[in-house]
Structure 1
Amino acid sequence: MEQNRVEKKKFDWRLFLALVKGTNPPRGIMITALVMSLLTTGVGFAVPLFTKRLVDGFSGQSFTGNQIAILVAAFVLQALASGLSIYLLAKVGHHVVAKLREKLWDKLLRLPVRFHHNNDTGETLSRVTNDTSIVKELITEHLTSFVTGIISIVGSIIILLILDWKMTIVMLLAVPVAIIIIMVLGRQMYRVSKMMQEETAKFTAVLNQVLPEMKLVKASNAEHVEQERGNKGIRTLFTYGLKEAKIQALLSPLMLFIMMLLLVTIIGYGGVRVASGALSAGDMVAFILYLFQIIMPMTQLSMFFTHLQKAMGATERIYDVLGEETEDAEKGKPITHVDGDLHMDEVSFAYQAEQVLHNLSFSAPAGKVTAIAGPSGGGKSTLFGLLERYYEPTSGVIRLGTEPISNFKLQDWRRQIGYVAQETALLSGTIRENICYGLEREIPQEELERVSEMAYAKQFIEELPEGFETKVGERGVKLSGGQRQRIAIARALLRDPQILMLDEATSSLDSSSEIYVQRALQNLMQNRTTFVIAHRLSTIVDADQIVFIERGRITGIGTHGELFERHELYRQFASQQQLLAGKVD
């Protein structure tokens, strides 16, 4: 199915040009590089004519010093111009790929969470790294050969027409054949290279999924499963790599065969014309040299078009990302303080074709704790996503007082929210960097220690050899679960949010860690509007109100006592929790 879609997609080289132009490449450097390339090609035009004069004027005389000096100077000039051109075009290529990656990175950071949920991280990474590299290779390695090749071919043909138009016409008979070969095999290369890039992205996604979760792989004895999954991707890449190699193996020899056949024909036909006196020996030598200046660029052009197909596939994938609609963080009213109740008015949400939430209506009093309870998969985390404006409701509205929260600036609104999740998000870096993450101001040491103490994190941080400068490792792997949670709470305290969202914040902790985290959460929740998702009864029993959600619908609202009295499923939930805790209601 994917292959058919790729085959039906129309090839458009203008997309590539627009992509490169959008990076504002340094025109002065590019023009200088092309001038150097033209100079290299121009010297190449002069050498056969110089050789012609030498051959026609050669009668036992030795080369003069001037002739040798001119020839050596020409070759040195050609080498210098060629080297400078290669370097300058490489500089342009690296500029283009750097700007592309900047644009992609900026785009990815501003895309809504919906995009990241719908796309594998590995595939997205492949677009930023692999696809941009393909574009760079076309510019740095093949653009020069394309420009100089065209000039070399056109210039050589003009000179050959002047030297001997009859032999030139014979030579030009091979051009349509070469063009047909390039076009036919080029289409095949486009399809194969596009699929190759898709499979590379999928394989990168597998690596990105498995490597960070190596503990899970080993604990589950799933090495053989992941080995087969990885090997499947490797075999698929191998298959497409062979297809790509076959096309290249056909293209180069076919072009070489045509050119060599042409060379033999020209030599034979030219020999007859030299013997008849219609052509001098010098003309014949010059003709052959110019013929080589056509043959070599033709081979390079075939390689250029091969890589152009790859670059087109990469360009389309890059445009897929750049064409996505981003969040507008600056649109709306500024908000610096949350003062008022939060209201859900007939809020519904559908994730793609699946209806997740159905007409939710309730109010969360300011400064109070609202617990969200219910069976797994009922839509509790989705509700949190709507409150943080990761998604917009399909219908209905969420209001702060009388104002829909969608009217506020997105950055300002999220600045009012502190979020502590079950799986704490820590970045590879120091404890200080993780606590201060996202804050642009300089945080004094005293303030850092204050929030760490309130989060019951200061003691274990000070016991570490490097204190706040301790590296936490990838995803905080060097810290325990309870330590990571307390770092997250310290981060939330430092932000001083007015709305708190606690998503199963203690469910994965042991009892000793939970005690510390619960104390830290109590400090965090003071005088803040708090939403709590929890499966443990101890976490929600003291909430000011509990909203019970089943299959995306609210089936009960009240305190623990009220719901225990009148809500059968909540009573079962609470009784099970009490039984597990060894308590009696």
Structure 2
Amino acid sequence: MKKTEAKAGKSIPQTYRRLMGYVVPYWRLFVVSIIGFGIYAATQPLFAALIKHIIDSLQTGSRDEAVYFPLMLVGLIICRGIGGFLGNYFLSRVSCNIVHTLRCEIFNHYTLLPTVYFDRHNSGYMISRITHNVGEVTRATTDSLRTIIREGLTAIGLLAYLVYTDWLLSLVFLVVAPVIMVLVKYVSKRLRSLSKNIQESVGDMTHITSELVNGHRIVRSFGGEEYERRRFQQSSAFNRKQSLKLAITVALQTPLMQIILSFALGGLMYLALIIMKQATAGEFVAYLTAAFLLPRPIRQLSDANGEIQRGLAAAETLFEVMDEPAEKDEGSYSVERCEGRLDFKEVEIRYARAEEPAIKDISFTVQAGRCVALVGSSGAGKSTLVNLIPRFYEYQKGQILLDGVEIKDYRLANLRKQIAMVTQNITLFNDTVANNIAYGVLGDAPRDKIIRAAQDAYAMEFIEKMPDGLDTEIGEHGINLSGGQRQRIALARALFKDAPVLILDEATSALDTASERYIQAALEKVMENRTTIVIAHRLSTIERADEILVMEGGRIVERGRHRELIDGEGPYARLYKMQFADVQQV
């Protein structure tokens, strides 16, 4: 724990400088806000000076200038209002721009991170960083930063007035300054630590809530309501505990600061009565007025410090995300449309912290326009293998060639342009049917091409029955559709992309027999000019493949066509007897 805190403490100045770096593009607005707060802060010592002149004029009996004092007071209030407006408005503009930039940078970086990052981090933490943590930074760069600048300048102005009036007497504040600095340093360190714990607990609660929302049918089917309630209660209780600790720290900081300042002010008043014997009544009252105005900005600075530390802790987590390396994209090769020949040469991949490779010594060739099926038991490495083609994962050994060029030499976007995927776990967006089919192109998509893709996937028959046809909103994850309908829309999306390489990972698993027959007919037409790799447990989707690869333990243990593998009575034949024997062939 101490090691972590030391590391965090060391990085805080760097985090602060980095956060302030976002101010640079808006430095003109920031300067205007500083000027505004400078005007606001200057009115405090000027108010003390005005009191001095009023009392002195009353004491000397000279009332000639008295007529100007009300005008001066009104002028000070007007200047204070103008300064406050300039400072608040322009700093708010700077802060809103910073938060917008940060939020967009985080989201944009999420789109560049490798798949392994998403595998390591749950969605709750990732979502909370872009919502809750950015909100913490918002408070740190708006209300708190406003207070730091405004009250900081006010405190400096009052101190300057005190030193100008009697510098020797003002040295009293130097006695308490080290005590205040030690207190602030300790509190700041504790606030950052507690804030990080709170932010992590918010991510945990977001994750648990997301799982409940997305999996509510499973939760109810298996009676997991009490378990989920207990999980959330524990997470929320931890958040409450850390929040109370933070509240106690903040609540104690202010009275402790006031007690320390009260000793300083008491000592100052005592010394002023002794030392300022030659001062006029106006000078004496003005000096004490400025001294007693000083605790308020210091107290507000103390309160703002809590928000600043929470914001810095949040900014630290955001910068951790932004410092994550993006997907490697060092290739330079591009092609408008490849032919689709795939060559695997002794490919091996080992996941982080895994003892054995997920796949090893994989070598095979898929000629352009041909179809290869991958079969094997769960965990055999089939999905891992196909995920290497679009470079969702990086292999450590061997080569994968597309049209004779290693896929690592392709520009990443260009490589993925050549590949369309349909997986068992369908991802649909809370948008129209048309926009889900033409995903990535959207508004530029030709309507007739969308319709043709839907027809080829045999999806138009149910799309036409929807209230708004292709313009019907399908809900989050396509909740308003059946499993078969979702997969046909996903297949239509792959067909719309018209890529030369097609990957089908359990793409027909949720279809009934009638729907699968239609899809199979469409696939046969679509596969004519595409290189296709199929992972399936249904015999009808693989028996027409040009070659079947049987995988066990991350290796290819058998290969050939359906009939010859059945006759060979090897692993495929055994797998067939276990999984396919009761499936009616199409």
Match of 1:263 among 262, 265, 284: 265
Q: Aligned partners of 1:291 and 1:315: how far apart in 2? A: 36
Residues 43-77 of structure 1 deviation map (CA, whole Å, 9 limit, x = unaligned): 21211011011112214787833210111121122
Partner of 2:482: 480
Stretch deviating more after TM superposition (56-65 or 563-572): 56-65
Q: 1:497 aligns with which of 496, 499, 502?
A: 499
> What letter matches 1:361 in structure 2?
S
Structure 2 length as normaliser, TM-score?
Answer: 0.94
| Aligned amino acid, residue 463 of structure 2 | I
Match of 2:358 in 1: 356
Give how far 1:235 is off. Answer: 0.6
* C-alpha contact 2:347 2:360 (8 A) present in aligned 1: yes
Letter in 2 for 1:32: V
Would you say the 8 A contact 1:34–1:144 is kept in 2?
no
Between stretches 95-104 and 135-144, larger displacement belongs to: 135-144
What is the rounded CA distance, in whole Å, between the counterparts of 1:117 and 1:343 in structure 2?
Answer: 27
User: Secondary structure of the residue that 1:580 maps to in structure 2?
Assistant: coil
CA contact (8 A) 1:192 1:243 kept: yes
Alpha-carbon separation, structure 2, partners of 1:26 and 1:109: 26
Q: Which of 445, 448, 471 is 2:447 aligned to?
A: 445
2:321 aligned partner: 321
Which amino acid letter does the alignment assign opposite residue 121 of structure 1?
A: S
In structure 1, C-alpha distance between the alignment counterparts of 2:519 and 2:23, rounded to whole Å: 49
Corresponding position: 1:531 with 2:516:
no
Segments of structure 2 that go 5 or more residues without pairing to the other structure are none
Q: Which residue of 1 aligns with 2:468?
A: 466
What's the counterpart of residue 563 of structure 1? 565
Partner of 2:105: 103
For residue 271 of structure 1, report the CA deviation from its aligned partner: 3.7
User: Does the C-alpha gap of structure 1 residues 386 and 334 become closer, same or farther in structure 2, counting only changes over 3 Å?
Assistant: same
Deviation digits for residues 84-121 of structure 1, max 9, x if unmatched? 31121111111001011111111111122221122112
* Comparing 370-379 and 188-197, the one that deviates more: 188-197
What CA distance in whole angstroms lies between the structure 2 residues aligned with 1:396 and 1:133? 46
Separation (CA, whole Å) in 2 of partners of 1:105 and 1:222: 33
Contact 1:193/1:313 (CA < 8 Å) preserved in 2?
yes
Secondary structure at 2:110 match in 1: helix
Q: Specify every segment of 5 or more residues in structure 1 that has no aligned partner in the other structure, as ranges.
A: none
Superposition CA RMSD, Å? 2.2
Q: Secondary structure at the match of 1:463?
A: coil
Aligned to 2:4: 5
Helix, strand or coil at the partner of 2:48: helix
SS in 1 for 2:87: helix
Question: Structure 1 stretch 446-455 or stretch 378-387: which is displaced more?
Answer: 446-455
The aligned residue for residue 522 of structure 1 is 524
Residues 348 and 393 in structure 1, CA contact (< 8 A), matched pair in contact too: yes
Structure 1 Cα separation of the partners of residues 269 and 23 of structure 2: 48
Q: CA–CA distance in 2 between the matches of 1:282 and 1:78?
A: 23
- In structure 2, relative to structure 1, the CA distance for the partners of 1:7 and 1:223 (3 Å cut) is farther
- Provide the residue aligned with 2:213 in structure 1: 211
Rounded Cα–Cα distance in structure 1 between residues aligned with 2:227 and 2:137: 35
State the AA in 1 paired with 2:533. F
Other structure's SS at 2:169 match: helix
How does 1:161-200 map onto structure 2 within 5 Å? 161-200=163-202
**In structure 2, how many angstroms separate the alpha carbons of the residues matched to 1:463 and 1:450?**
17
Among 491, 506, 509, which residue is 1:507 paired with?
509
- Secondary structure of 1:344's counterpart equals strand
Confirm or deny that 1:82 pairs with 2:89: no
C-alpha deviation, 1:567, in angstroms? 4.9
Q: Deviations over 1:285-334 (max 9, x none)?
A: 21222113421222222233323322222222112111122236584211
Which residue in 1 is equivalent to 2:424?
422
* Partner residue, 1:370: 372
1:217 to 1:27, Cα distance in 2 relative to 1, 3 A: same
How much has 1:419 moved relative to structure 2? 0.9
User: Do 2:549 and 2:558's aligned partners in 1 also have CA atoms closer than 8 Å?
Assistant: yes
The structure-2 alpha-carbon separation of the partners of 1:360 and 1:170, relative to structure 1 and needing over 3 Å to count, comes to same
Amino acid aligned to 2:254:
S
Structure 1 residues 532-579: Cα deviation after superposition (integer angstroms, max 9, x where no partner): 001122221221111111111111111112222335332121112343
Q: 1:295 to 1:360 in 2, by over 3 A?
A: same
> After alignment, is 450-459 or 22-31 more displaced?
22-31
Q: Matched residues in 2 for 1:420 and 1:78: separation?
A: 64
Percent identity, aligned pairs only? 31
How far has the Cα of 1:23 moved from its partner?
6.1
TM-score, scaled relative to structure 1: 0.94
The one-letter code of the counterpart of 1:258 is I
Equivalence for 1:16? 16
Q: Give, in angstroms, the shift of residue 153 of structure 1.
A: 3.0
Counterpart residue number, 2:288: 288
The answer to whether the 8 Å contact 2:435/2:442 transfers is no
Change beyond 3 A, Cα 1:567–1:312: farther
C-alpha separation between the residues in 2 aligned to 1:23 and 1:132?
Answer: 16
Distance 1:470 1:440, change over 3 A: closer
SS in 2 for 1:250: helix
Q: Secondary structure at the match of 1:156?
A: helix
Tell me the CA shift for residue 246 of structure 1. 1.2
Report the equivalent of 1:297. Answer: 297
Q: More deviation in 478-487 or 144-153?
A: 144-153
Aligned-partner residue type, residue 323 of structure 2: G
Measure the CA separation in 2 of the matches of 1:147 and 1:85: 9
Q: Choose 29-38 or 153-162, whichever is displaced more.
A: 153-162
Amino acid at match of 1:211: V
Q: How does 1:39-118 map to 2 (within 5 A)?
A: 39-59=39-59, 64-118=66-120
SS in 2 for 1:392: coil
**Hey, what does 1:310 align to over in structure 2?**
310
What secondary structure is seen at the aligned counterpart in 1 of 2:444?
A: coil
